[in-house]
Structure 1
Amino acid sequence: THIDVTDPNFTALKAMLEMKEDLKHIVDIQIVAFPQQGMYTYKGGLELVEEALKMGADIVGGIPHYEPAREFGDKSVHDIVKLALKYDKLIDVHCDETDDTHSRFVELLNALVLMEDYGTRTTASHTCSFGSADNSYAFRMLDLFQKSKMNFSSCPTENAYLQGRQDTYPKRRGLTRVKELIEYGINVAFAQDSINDPWYPMGNGNMMNILDNGIHLAQIMSAKDVESNFDLITYNGARCLNIQDSYGLEVGRAANFIVLNETTVYEAIRKRVDVLASVRNGEYLFKRKEVEYEVELGL
Structure 2
Amino acid sequence: MNDLLIRNARVAARGPEPCDVRITGGRIAAIGADLPAAAAELDAAGGMLTPSFVELHCHLDATLTAGTPRPNRSGTLWEGIALWSEIKPTLDEDSVYRRARKTLLWMLSHGVTHVRTHVDICDPSLVALRALLRLRADLRGTLDLQLVAFPQEGFYAYADGEALMLESIALGVDCLGGIPHFEITREDGVRSVERILSLAREHQRRVDIHCDETDDDQSRFVEVMAARTLREGLEGRVTASHLTASHGYHGAYAGKLIGYMRRAGLHVVTNPLDNSVLQGRFDGYPMRRGHARIKEMLQAGLNVACGHDSVMDPWYPMGDGDPLKAAFVLMHYAQLIGADERPWLFRMLTGMPAAAFGLERHAVVEGAPADLILWDVPTEDEALRRLPARRAVLRNGTIVAERSAVGMSVLGEPLDTTPPV
Smaller-chain TM-score range?
over 0.9
In structure 2, what residue type is equivalent to 1:4? D
In structure 2, what residue type is equivalent to 1:114? L
Report how far residue 290 of structure 1 moved. 4.2
In structure 2, what residue type is equivalent to 1:256? D
2:300 is aligned, of 180, 184, 205, to 184
Q: Quote the residue 2:240 is aligned against.
A: 124
Report how far residue 291 of structure 1 moved. 7.2
Gaps of 5+ in 2: 1-116, 408-421
Q: Quote the residue 2:355 is aligned against.
A: 239
- Greater relative contact order (CA < 8 Å, ≥ 6 in sequence): 2
Equivalent pair of 2:198/2:232 in contact (CA under 8 Å): no
SS at match of 2:341: helix
TM-score (norm 2): 0.67
Q: Quote the residue 1:286 is aligned against.
A: 401
In structure 2, what residue type is equivalent to 1:110? A
1:262 is aligned, of 348, 352, 377, to 377
Matched, 1:66 2:216: no
- More strand as a share of residues: 2
Q: How does 1:1-299 map to 2 (within 5 A)?
A: 1-243=117-359, 245-290=360-405
Equivalent pair of 1:119/1:151 in contact (CA under 8 Å): no
Gaps of 5+ in 1: 293-299
Report how far residue 25 of structure 1 moved. 3.2
Report how far residue 42 of structure 1 moved. 2.7
Report how far residue 249 of structure 1 moved. 2.4
- Percent of pairs with identical residues: 38
- Output one character per residue of 1:109-137: Cα deviation in whole Å (capped at 9) or x when no partner: 01110223313101000000012111111
Report how far residue 169 of structure 1 moved. 0.5
Q: Quote the residue 2:24 is aligned against.
A: none
SS at match of 1:262: coil
SS at match of 1:252: coil
Distance (whole Å) between structure 2 residues aligned to residue 42 and residue 152 of structure 1: 26
Report how far residue 266 of structure 1 moved. 1.5
Corresponding pairs, count: 291
SS at match of 2:167: helix
Q: Greater shift after overlay, 19-28 or 120-129?
A: 19-28
Report how far residue 209 of structure 1 moved. 0.6
Distance (whole Å) between structure 2 residues aligned to residue 240 and residue 25 of structure 1: 19
Distance (whole Å) between structure 2 residues aligned to residue 86 and residue 70 of structure 1: 24
Measured on the aligned residues, the alpha-carbon RMSD in Å equals 1.4
SS at match of 2:355: helix
SS at match of 1:285: strand
Equivalent pair of 1:123/1:151 in contact (CA under 8 Å): yes
Report how far residue 246 of structure 1 moved. 4.2
Distance (whole Å) between structure 1 residues aligned to residue 183 and residue 344 of structure 2: 37
- More helix as a share of residues: 1
SS at match of 1:224: coil
Q: Greater shift after overlay, 176-185 or 44-53?
A: 44-53
In structure 1, what residue type is equivalent to 2:394? V
